[in-house]
Structure 1
Amino acid sequence: MFASCHCAPRGRRTMKMIHFRSSSIKSLNQEMKCTIRLLDDSEVSCHIQRETKGQFLIEYICNYYSLLEKDYFGIRYVDPEKQRHWLEPNKSIFKQMKSHPPYTMCFRVKFYPHEPLKIKEELTRYLLYLQIKRDIFHGRLLCSFSDAAYLGACIVQAEFGDYYPDEHPENYISEFEIFPKQSQKLEREIMEIHNNELRGQSPAIAEFNLLLKAHTLETYGVDPHPCKDSRGATAFLGFTAAGFVVFPGK
């Protein structure tokens, strides 16, 4: 009697172990949803498996766009500690992610072209324009007041076209968020350039002029990371074509 009572619970434990292992094996083939946010803030979704590598998602988005100049772009994700990472193409997506599915990632410019004139495809230029516009809005592209006004005017021309008094209210610039901090003085200067210097430019020309100006700026293509300088003051460390550069915190 003692033996039969002892065997019953052992049998139940064995059955539970088999059920757990079976569930794990089944999950190997389970599909996981990925949502990729594009540069215009629209989203594209697909499903992946545990073994799917990062290159699949890069190719998926490039095919979605019919994008030929692929080497400038990558996919970025944010881990639970709010740190940003580039998705590595030759590694499993599942193993790179530090959170549970469904996953959300962003399609972004990873390598900024040193000379925009060498970009061959209009689509590539447009996507780079969208990235620069994001960099300006999030304060990553630092520049002088005059350069900021010109960049802002290029964006307004690309988005709105020529200025017409009967179509644009007096404060139309203030309704369009271009910079993280947008003073009335800057808005007036943007309006002045938009009204007088950029009239007649097509969206593609205005976007290209923005790229020509942006690529001359010191923080073009820089992904700043907070750090401390030698005096302990807040600064930002960025990697540029010339190497690592430290920018003041302000």
Structure 2
Amino acid sequence: MDPAATGKQLLDQVARSIYLREVWYFGLEYTDTKSFNRWLKHEKPVLSQNVQKDQAQVLQFRFLVRFYPEDVSEELIEEITQRLFFRQVKGLILNDSIYCPAETCVLLASYAMQAKFGDYDEDKYPPKSLINERILPERVGDQFQLSNAEWVKRVVNWWKQHERLTKEDAMLEYLKVAQDLEMFGVSYFEIQNKTGTVLLLGVDAIGINIYDTRDKLIPKVGFPWSEIRNVSFKEKKFVIKPADMQSPDFIFISTRIRANRQILSLCMGNHELYARRRRPDTKEITQLKAQAAAEKSARNQERARVRVDTERRKQAEQERESLQEKIDGLERSTQLIRQEKPSRRSSESSTTGSIEEQNQRAKESDDKRRKAENAQLRLQRERKEADTEYRRTVERTRYEEAEREKAVQEIEKTRLLADENAQEAQRKENEARQIEEDLRETQMRIVQAKKSYSNRFTDRSEEYSVPADDTDNDEDENRTHRKKQNFDTTGNTFAHEDMRTTTTTRDQNRTQKLGAERNNLVQRQQNADTLEDKTYRENTTDKGIDKYKTLKKIREGTVKRRIDEFEAM
């Protein structure tokens, strides 16, 4: 790339190389010269962002999910996006960065096996061959007195139930279960309230939550994005202005200045996506959904054709084997008759029977021989016809495969053309947005000039602070002038998450099986529960509370009451 390329240009280049269009969920993470992890800024040149170089003077970036959706089945449109999310979330669960109870780990492992291998086939994937597969977190393996073979057997029992589930659908089912985990998509930061109590701030797609440092699963206080009007910080002090103008500001102290910009950036990105989901789809999203639906329909038709062709081939092979068995049987019978004929003639000549009896026996023998020869000719003819039909089936299958290849190529050409059109539309949209930003900045300068001239001060307008470009000095960062963007939350106050239920609870059969799996595992437990295990069991097993019930509970009452609860922690 050009040495002056910006972070956005590099990210777009990565997205184009893997045919990814839902790029707004992703980012490029790097390690700076002070060994802190940062996200590459979009508008700033890559080479000016203090990226740490290795011994070969090479810059290294990690292409990762930065923002998570509220509902993966509704928001992740394209297959490539779902696959990238699946890989990252699976890695986080296996590394225990996202807590997952043991019984759910087994269920997720079965979906991972379906996504990797397809339908379970004991001949292809005997349990011994799967022992070396990394399917569960080490915590789960160490906590229960089960061998690798026993864990594989449990996973296979679930895997068998996913028959005919495509690999793409298996990945989506994995994500639908994983998104209901309490730590899914949450970024944690250490903060303090006014009394100096150390707490955790959790930022995710739904809002901002406050956690005890010993419990990352159950938040104590929560604020959805629909209740937040403005987020800003100065040095270590963060100020969150509620949408309700009568409510006091929510203030907390960040213990690490270098994390401030990341907190603000995550708040901005999640707030923007939260508001976008509650507005009508843009033309780009509508186009993506229509194209994804068409591609999925084409894939399903292709799978149906392949399934039919496979069944035809199996049937033709079975018929051919059946005919071959009949032919072999008749050939053996003919050979036996030919072997018996000389012996019968010799025995008949040695006896002194009448000539008429000998002629009658000879005639019967000739009749049997002719029948055997006719049967052999008929079977040869049937074999030839079966071979001809088999060749026709193979030729027809090859022809259909060639036609499908042509159709796939046409779809790819259409997709490339659509990508070019989308890029052109995005470029025009960016130009229009830049013009609007320039106009807004000019208007703000005029307003500021008028305020300075009249020496009058008014309340700040509803605005959302955008972080300035990274610099090496944190104090300079906090003094840097920040651009402003307005985010209108009017009409977007409906919280979809208040009406949601977990994927597992919507399937009673699965809920019962998971309960049985949990009870069975408890009997084989050899090490004590972790703190997360105890918290999870107290809420799910004892109280029947899930992630969304918890979120609804911690948001009850007025904003002021919740702020008072935060200050009293």
Query: How high is the TM-score relative to the length of structure 2?
Result: 0.32
Partner of 1:29: none
Partners of 1:186 and 1:92 in 2: CA distance? 49
Q: CA deviation at 1:81?
A: 4.7
Work out whether 1:248 is the aligned partner of 2:201: no
- Confirm or deny: 8 A CA contact 1:223 1:238 kept in the other structure: yes
Work out whether 1:66 is the aligned partner of 2:19: yes
Work out whether 1:217 is the aligned partner of 2:173: no
Partners of 2:210 and 2:87 in 1: CA distance? 24
Within a 5 Å distance, the mapping from 1:197-216 to structure 2 comes to 197-216=161-180
Q: Which of 81, 84, 87 pairs up with 1:124?
A: 81
Render the CA deviation track for 1:47-83: whole Å, top value 9, x for unaligned: 441x321101110011112222111111111235543
Partner of 2:69: 113
Partner of 1:30: none
Q: 1:187 to 1:245 in 2, by over 3 A?
A: farther
Render the CA deviation track for 1:105-140: whole Å, top value 9, x for unaligned: 011111111111222222211221122122222222
Partner of 2:510: none
- Confirm or deny: 8 A CA contact 1:79 1:85 kept in the other structure: yes
- Confirm or deny: 8 A CA contact 1:145 1:186 kept in the other structure: no
RMSD: 2.8
Partners of 2:208 and 2:197 in 1: CA distance? 22
- Confirm or deny: 8 A CA contact 1:139 1:179 kept in the other structure: no
SS at match of 1:58: helix
Work out whether 1:96 is the aligned partner of 2:49: yes
Q: CA deviation at 1:236?
A: 6.9
Partners of 1:238 and 1:172 in 2: CA distance? 41
Within a 5 Å distance, the mapping from 1:29-108 to structure 2 comes to 47-49=1-3, 51-100=4-53, 101-108=57-64
Q: CA deviation at 1:191?
A: 2.2
One-letter amino acid of the counterpart of residue 116, structure 1: V
SS at match of 1:243: strand
One-letter amino acid of the counterpart of residue 155, structure 2: I
Q: Which runs of 5+ in 1 are unaligned?
A: 1-46
Q: 1:210 to 1:113 in 2, by over 3 A?
A: same
Q: 1:75 to 1:176 in 2, by over 3 A?
A: same
**Identical amino acids, percent of aligned pairs:** 23
Structure possessing the higher radius of gyration over alpha carbons: 2
Render the CA deviation track for 1:149-169: whole Å, top value 9, x for unaligned: 111111111001122222113
Render the CA deviation track for 1:23-63: whole Å, top value 9, x for unaligned: xxxxxxxxxxxxxxxxxxxxxxxx441x3211011100111
Partner of 1:4: none
Partner of 1:154: 111
- Confirm or deny: 8 A CA contact 1:76 1:86 kept in the other structure: yes
SS at match of 2:62: strand
Partners of 1:180 and 1:227 in 2: CA distance? 29
Partner of 1:12: none
One-letter amino acid of the counterpart of residue 214, structure 1: A
Q: CA deviation at 1:239?
A: 2.3
SS at match of 2:121: coil
One-letter amino acid of the counterpart of residue 208, structure 1: L
Q: Which of 144, 152, 165 pairs up with 2:122?
A: 165
Within a 5 Å distance, the mapping from 1:176-215 to structure 2 comes to 176-181=133-138, 183=141, 184=147, 186-195=151-160, 197-215=161-179
> Which 10-residue stretch deviates more, 143-152 or 94-103?
94-103
Q: 1:103 to 1:170 in 2, by over 3 A?
A: same
Partners of 1:227 and 1:151 in 2: CA distance? 33
Q: 1:120 to 1:170 in 2, by over 3 A?
A: closer
Partners of 1:93 and 1:80 in 2: CA distance? 14
Q: Which has the higher strand share?
A: 1
State the aligned residue count: 200
Q: 1:98 to 1:120 in 2, by over 3 A?
A: closer
Q: Which runs of 5+ in 2 are unaligned?
A: 142-146, 216-530, 532-569
Q: 1:146 to 1:121 in 2, by over 3 A?
A: same
Q: CA deviation at 1:226?
A: 7.6
- Confirm or deny: 8 A CA contact 2:30 2:62 kept in the other structure: yes
- Confirm or deny: 8 A CA contact 1:53 1:89 kept in the other structure: yes
Q: 1:81 to 1:186 in 2, by over 3 A?
A: farther
One-letter amino acid of the counterpart of residue 87, structure 1: L
SS at match of 2:170: helix
Query: How high is the TM-score relative to the length of structure 1?
Result: 0.69
Q: 1:237 to 1:169 in 2, by over 3 A?
A: farther
Q: CA deviation at 1:225?
A: 5.7
One-letter amino acid of the counterpart of residue 132, structure 2: E
Q: 1:191 to 1:97 in 2, by over 3 A?
A: farther
Partners of 1:245 and 1:186 in 2: CA distance? 36
Q: 1:82 to 1:227 in 2, by over 3 A?
A: farther
